[in-house]
Each structure stands twice: as C-alpha cells, then as structure tokens.
Amino acid sequence: MSIFERKKKLVVVGHRGGRGEGWPAENTMAAFERAYDEAADAIELDVRQCGTGEVVVFHDPDLKRTSGGSDLRKVGTVPYLELATKHKTPLLRDVLAFCNDRKLGLNIEIKYDDVDRRTLTRAVCRLLDAHPELDVIISSFDPRILARVRALRANLRCALLTTTERKWSLPLARFGMVRGIIWAVHLEKVQATERVVRGLRRRGLHVGVWTVNDVEEARKLRHWGADWVITDQTAVIRAGAAS
C-alpha cells in the first residue's frame, strides 16, 4: 500500500524537506536527510529546469530570495554547477535515488512559472522511469501540467494544488472538472474547512493540506479526514498529531 493511503494515521510530508530556525536550507539534500531522520513519511519538493537543462530542485523562479537580493537571475538561465556550488541545489535525479533507497514517499511539485511546461513535464516523467517502485505524487497549481503527466504516464498519481490566489482552483477540484486526472487535492490550509475536506473525501479524492505547523490544527484536519499534511516542522507534527 502507498504511504499516502494509510488510513489509521496522518501522513507527515516535509515541506521542501523542512524549514525554519535550525533547519538546513530548504530543498537541499541536508533538509531531506533531516526530514528522514525525523521520521517524515514523505518529502515535498519543487522542480524546474536550469540553464544547462537539468531538472533541479528549486522553488523560486529566480535567485533573489536565496541570494539575499544580490542575484536577480532566473534559475532557468543559471548553469547547474553554479546552482550546486552556491545554493546547494540538488538534481531531481539524485533525490529520486535518495527516496527510493530509503522507501521515503515523495511529492514532486512541477512549477509552472518561468518554465517550458511541456519540456519540464516530459523530463520529470523520464527521470521517474528509472524508479518504478518509488512512492510518488506529482502536484502542480496548473491542471494542464497534470493532464500532460497523465497523458505521458497514466500510472502516475496527480494532485491539484489549490490556493486562494487562484480562486478557480478549489471549485475546479470540488466539482469534478478534472475527474480522471487528479487523485488528490492539496489545499491551502485556509481553505481546509471541515465541509471542504469531507466533501472532497466523499468524491473519492485524497486530501493533503499545506503548510501545517500547528499540532492542534493537524489533529483537527486528521479528524475531518485529511490524509496528510505538508509541514515545515516534521518532528513536531509527528510527535503531536501523527503517531
């Protein structure tokens, strides 16, 4: 059975591995290793392509935030070796091997901003072919990316990310307009009311919620039927709400 289908406990997914005071930099191998050490069931990460074409694990479309404002270049223009040296950016290929070796679940968010969506989606699917046993979900805010994933690899499970900034995303998920494409919905936590969570579950969809760092909130979501939470603080949520 998939890690993401455990019925008797809340599944803990490390958001970009984990974030906050004392954590290694997000979306790095060090963050993923710490999430694993803290008994996360799975990790969540973001992918896009860099200037030399590799699929890299990086959230933002540019280097502004991670460079403290000193570098404004787009990730898609920067060579991989520079990203690896200056930002400790891993290749998706290496993270897939890490998760596969440790039987760690993986949520890959395919970014939609400042990327060639068609090329990126195809590249991710090809990399996953090397690890057919990997317990993986593909997520995106863009339903067109998820439709393309399903067209390329019908066996892959997809989750639609919803947010209040994209007001159409939750109605799209709730009323089945992506039926047959999505397996799960990843709700922004402000959208995760009891009515919404239970309603999605009745429609046969799995439900994850992001980003949940409060134990009582995680317990409430578990009671309502959420299957997993994506959290910056894996140890806290594991100890307080998921055991």
The identity of residue 136, as a single letter, is V
Mean pLDDT for 16-37 is: 97
The pLDDT assigned to 1 comes to 83
Q: What are phi and psi of 114, to 5 degrees?
A: 55, 40
Task: Tell whether the torsion through CA atoms of 31, 242, 162 and 192 is positive or negative.
Answer: negative
210 phi and psi, to 5 degrees? -130, 155
d(C-alpha 215, C-alpha 123), whole Å: 37
Cα angle, residue 240 at apex, residues 34 and 95 outer, rounded to 5°: 25
Average pLDDT of every residue of the chain:
96
Give burial (CB, 10 Å; 0-12/13-18/19+) of 22. exposed
The reported pTM is: 0.97
Please answer whether residues 51 and 77 qualify as being in contact, where contact means their C-beta atoms are separated by less than 8 angstroms: yes
What CA–CA distance (Å, rounded) separates 185 from 208?
6
- The domains of the chain, with CATH numbers, are 10-242 (3.20.20.190)
Written as six digits, the tokens of 187 are 């709700």
Residue 8's pLDDT band, with cuts at 50, 70 and 90, is confident
Beta strands in 24-104 (DSSP E): 42-49, 55-57
Helix axes 194-202, 215-224, angle to 10 degrees: 40
| Mean pLDDT along residues 201-224 | 96
pLDDT of residue 178: 77
Query: What is the percent of the chain with per-residue pLDDT over 70, rounded to a whole number?
Result: 99
* pLDDT tens profile 165-194: 999 999 998 876 677 899 999 999 999 999
Please report how the helices 29-37 and 92-102 are oriented relative to each other, as an axis angle in degrees rounded to 10: 20
**What mean pLDDT comes out for the span 125-147?**
97
- β-bridge pairing 11-15 and 228-231: parallel
How many Å apart are CA 104 and CA 39, to the nearest integer?
9
